[in-house]
Structure 1
Amino acid sequence: MSYSLTAADKANALSLRDDERFNHFVARVCEHQELWILTDEHGCMMLTSDDDEDCIPVWPHPDYARDWAVGDWSQCKPEAISLQVWLSRWVPGMEEDELLVAVFPTPDETGVVVDPHELQEAIGRKQTLGRRN
């Protein structure tokens, strides 16, 4: 279940630079053990990066994903994926299919695009730091 998100929290997160939003995403996903994608009757929403690479956008909360569900994406709905399922199934599958991850893109389409393994490593580092504190 998603955490409570105030309008101020949302505005603050969306005003962060792409790299800061990436870190915010990693922190929230580690804290709440889930991430969000957009899906429709055809499956998971995919984007094409500026470098013409296919990627799956992910968000730390359904409200951010819902902000994307307009225009061509208006039929899409936020869907939660547990962190455990993401790491055990999605990361290997995306690597096999040569897909990238668009981490916490904003409605104006800015965000960090990374290899799934790179995101997995960032999550692993955050989890290790969390266990030490």
Structure 2
Amino acid sequence: MNTTPEDKYTLLAKSPEQRSSFLLLTLSEQKAIWTLVDDDGAMILTTDEEDCIPVWPDEAFVKDWINDEWSHCRAHCISQEDWQQRWLPGLEEDGIQIAMFPVPGEEGLIIAPWEMAEKLG
């Protein structure tokens, strides 16, 4: 996926639900999802109630988060197969939720790994 600056701006302005729908559609089309990692593994966002792994549809959106406290991180692409077979069961087991396509200053829609697995079929 090659996201133009205009496309990116339009997507970032959408509601959390619209961004989540776009993320799921892109995952099914591109067969990949993106997150942030460092040398110790995936980065975790902490909301008021839970720990979440943030995921995005494209590397361009991940790069917006590589600054300040996460400046040591890098974008990481996960294949759809790996996401569904390894990551979702592992996140469920560890009690970690999924932050669907968050934007800076807003955590986005939070769903449980089993919910995402259901949506993906």
- Alpha-carbon offset, residue 109 of structure 1: 2.5
Distance across 2 between alignment mates of 1:104 and 1:55: 12
Select the residue among 66, 69, 73 that pairs with 1:76: 73
Name 1:12's counterpart in structure 2. Answer: 10
CA contact (8 A) 1:59 1:103 kept: yes
Report the counterpart of residue 47 of structure 1 in structure 2.
Answer: 45
Q: Distance in 1 between matches of 2:70 and 2:31?
A: 26
Identity of aligned residues (%): 39
User: What SS does structure 2 have at the residue aligned with 1:108?
Assistant: coil
> Which residue is 1:123 aligned to?
120
- The ranges of structure 1 where at least 4 consecutive aligned residues each deviate by more than 3 angstroms after the TM superposition are none
Q: Provide the residue aligned with 2:61 in structure 1.
A: 64
Pair member with larger Rg: 1
- Cα deviation for residue 4 of structure 1 reads 0.8
Deviation of residue 50 (structure 1)? 2.5
Aligned to 2:107: 110
Post-superposition offset of 1:13? 0.6
1:71 and 1:100 map into 2 onto residues whose CA distance is: 23
Residue 39 of structure 1 contacts residue 79 of structure 1 at CA under 8 Å; is this kept in 2? Answer: yes
Structure 1 position 110, deviation (Å) = 3.0
Q: Structure 1 length normalisation: TM-score?
A: 0.88
State whether structure 2 residue 108 is matched by structure 1 residue 100. Answer: no
Aligned residues: 121
Residue by residue, what CA displacement relative to the aligned partner does 1:52-95 show, whole Å, maximum 9, x if unpaired?
Answer: x1110000001111101110001111000000000000111111
Looking at structure 2, the residues matched to 36 and 44 of structure 1 have their Cα atoms a distance apart, in angstroms, of: 11
Q: Which runs of 5+ in 2 are unaligned?
A: none
Whole-Å separation in 1 of the counterparts to 2:91 and 2:31: 19
**TM-score calculated relative to the size of structure 2:** 0.96
